[in-house]
Amino acid sequence: MGGFKRRATDRAEQGRPAVTLGRLADEGVDVFCWCNRCGHNAVLSIAKLIGQLGVALAVPEVGAHLRCTGCSGKDVATRPAWPSRGPITRHTKARGP
Interval 19-60: pLDDT, tens: 999 999 999 999 999 999 999 999 999 999 999 999 999 999
Over residues 51-73, the mean pLDDT reads 94
Asked whether the predicted pLDDT for residue 14 surpasses 90, the reply is no
Q: Is residue 30 part of a domain?
A: yes
* Alpha carbon distance 83, 90 (integer Å): 20
- Domain hosting 64: range is 16-80
pTM value is 0.70
Count of domains for the chain: 1
Q: Is residue 89 part of a domain?
A: no
Q: Is residue 95 part of a domain?
A: no
DSSP state letter for 57: S
Q: Is residue 20 part of a domain?
A: yes
Q: Is residue 86 part of a domain?
A: no
* Alpha carbon distance 80, 44 (integer Å): 10
**Which one is predicted more confidently, 97 or 52?**
52
Confidence category of residue 7, pLDDT binned at 50, 70, 90: confident
Q: Is residue 21 part of a domain?
A: yes
Over residues 5-15, the mean pLDDT reads 72
